[in-house]
């Protein structure tokens, strides 16, 4: 049941659908799109239909689409297919998937023990190889929604689309002629957890490994925290946990990846960050892959000690209706970032990923108030300052 004045995400999408339908009706009645390259003016509805058709064509060309997955009762021993490709690191592909599955089991077990409720599991495969294991806990005692999803993807993308998925312009099309599609492999584990209590923070992580059939490889990932109310010792604990991990592997990692997180998780149209950061990295292939794999593994192993003690600490805190509404407004910001800026969401939609897994990160309820400003000197204003001016949390 929704909080008074809140908006379920399903209702939001339904309202957006009605708005699009209404706009389309008006456009069909006579509005037109700007002239194309050949000078022909097309009705804007035709432009929208053409864009939708292009998306469908792109999914067909990639070899996967939103409905190409097949549900199975039990996960196979591995979702990695046997490829005899020159330059393919089959051993790393298999070990990365094995580590993701191990971490998924450990994290879901710890969350279930804290909440008292179990995760629902969906397993699927694809005819061309790959698949996924999604686990979602809904309407729990502690968590309104907690998801942890493993994905293994084989597909292909245009070079410009693959290039847009990077933040520093890595040459992902190496070995392919201009305009040629780039076959790729991707494996990752991602999670978002939304507690019920507004004093307990939301947490997100994602760790992934990519290869192209041209022999280019890279790692990416990160963990970040999104509180509605500021408890400085909690944020310091989360950041210090990951700084300690970073320092073990490279003393320059934390400062670099913390700054990267602050920049990446900025909601540009709001001039504020989604939360209070953590670490974020992408396109990591500047050293032995074994070293980066070990770093990624330790980051995943740090999810439970970095985050769950904070939820356990605050899950039974008292709160007011006003504080709950503020939490829902911050969740609204979470939705805005994920649907507008998040590179993983865009990548999943472009490559025809399973929709329920792509949108697993969205909370069940959120809230938007017109031109809302927190009262000066309030706890809400205090954390807004931290969202607008990133701070240093670790020692």
Residue 218 structure tokens: 């890279």
Q: How many Å apart are CA 232 and CA 94, to the nearest integer?
A: 40
The whole-number pLDDT of residue 242 equals 98
pLDDT for 353 beyond 90: no
Residue pLDDT, tens place only, 216-230? 899 999 999 999 999
Q: Does residue 36 carry a pLDDT above 60?
A: no
Whether pLDDT at 164 is above 90: no
Tokens of 152: 């293994």
Three-state DSSP at 44 gives helix
Average pLDDT, integer, range 197-221: 93
Q: Of 86-90, 102-106, 141-145, 299-303, which range is least confident?
A: 86-90
Contact predicate 325/3, CB 8 Å: yes
Nearest to 222 by CA among 263, 281, 265: 281
When pLDDT is averaged across residues 109-119 and rounded to a whole number, the result is 98
Closest CA to 265 of 394, 108, 386: 386
pLDDT(13) > 50: no
Whole-angstrom distance, CA of residue 11 vs CA of residue 2 = 11
Q: Is the pLDDT of residue 119 over 60?
A: yes
pLDDT of residue 49: 47
Instruction: Tell how far CA 74 is from the center of its chain.
Output: 25
Whether residue 372 has pLDDT greater than 90: yes
Do 145 and 138 form a contact (C-beta atoms < 8 A)? Answer: yes
Cα–Cα distance measured from residue 217 to residue 210, given in angstroms and rounded to the nearest whole number:
6
Q: Which residues are catalytic?
A: 204
380, pLDDT greater than 70: yes
Strands (E), the chain: 7-8, 70-72, 120-125, 131-138, 143-157, 182-195, 202-212, 217-226, 266-267, 272-273, 278-284, 365-366
Specify whether the CB–CB gap between 352 and 64 falls below 8 A. Answer: yes
Q: What is the pLDDT of residue 170?
A: 55
Short-list 85, 126, 87, 123, CA closest to 104: 123
From residue 74, give the alpha-carbon distance in Å to each of 70, 150, 232, 357.
Answer: 12, 14, 43, 17
- CA-nearest of 390, 391, 387 to 273 is 387
DSSP 52-113: HHHHHHHHHHHT--TT--EEESS--S--------TT--HHHHHHHHHHHHHHHHHHHHHHHH
């Amino acid at each position: 049941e929704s909080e008074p004045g809140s908006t379920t995400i399903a209702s939001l999408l339904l309202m957006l659908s009605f708005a699009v339908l209404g706009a389309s009706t008006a456009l069909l009645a006579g509005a037109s799109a700007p002239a194309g390259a050949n000078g022909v003016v097309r009705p804007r509805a035709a432009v929208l239909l053409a864009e939708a058709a292009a998306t469908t064509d792109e999914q067909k060309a990639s070899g996967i689409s939103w409905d190409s997955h097949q549900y199975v009762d039990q996960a196979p021993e591995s979702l990695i297919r046997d490829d005899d490709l020159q330059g393919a690191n089959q051993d790393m592909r298999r070990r990365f998937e094995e580590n993701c599955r191990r971490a998924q089991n450990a994290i879901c077990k710890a969350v279930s023990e804290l909440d008292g409720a179990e995760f629902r599991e969906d397993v699927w495969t694809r005819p061309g190889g790959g698949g996924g294991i999604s686990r979602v806990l809904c309407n729990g005692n502690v968590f309104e929604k907690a998801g942890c999803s493993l994905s293994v993807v084989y597909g292909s993308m245009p070079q410009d689309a693959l290039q847009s998925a990077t933040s520093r312009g890595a040459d992902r099309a190496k070995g392919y002629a201009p305009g040629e599609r780039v076959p790729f492999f991707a494996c990752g584990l991602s999670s978002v957890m939304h507690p019920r209590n507004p004093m307990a923070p939301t947490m997100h992580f994602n760790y992934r490994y990519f290869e192209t059939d041209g022999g280019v490889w890279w790692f990416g990932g990160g963990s970040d925290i999104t509180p509605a109310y500021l408890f400085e010792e909690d944020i310091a604990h989360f950041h210090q946990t990951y700084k300690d991990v970073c320092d073990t592997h490279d003393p320059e990692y934390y400062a670099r990846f913390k700054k990267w997180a602050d920049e990446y998780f900025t909601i540009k149209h709001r001039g504020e960050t989604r939360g209070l950061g953590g670490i974020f990295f992408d396109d990591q292939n500047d050293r032995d892959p074994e070293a980066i794999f070990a770093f990624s593994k330790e980051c995943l192993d740090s999810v439970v000690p970095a985050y769950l003690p904070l939820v356990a600490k605050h899950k039974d805190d008292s709160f007011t209706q006003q504080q709950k509404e503020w939490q829902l407004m911050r969740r609204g910001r979470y939705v805005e970032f994920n649907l507008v800026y998040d590179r993983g969401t865009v990548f999943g939609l472009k490559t025809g990923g399973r929709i329920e897994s792509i949108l697993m990160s969205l909370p069940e309820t959120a809230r938007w108030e017109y031109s809302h400003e927190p009262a000066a000197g309030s706890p809400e204003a205090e954390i807004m300052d931290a969202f607008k001016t990133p701070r240093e949390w670790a020692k």
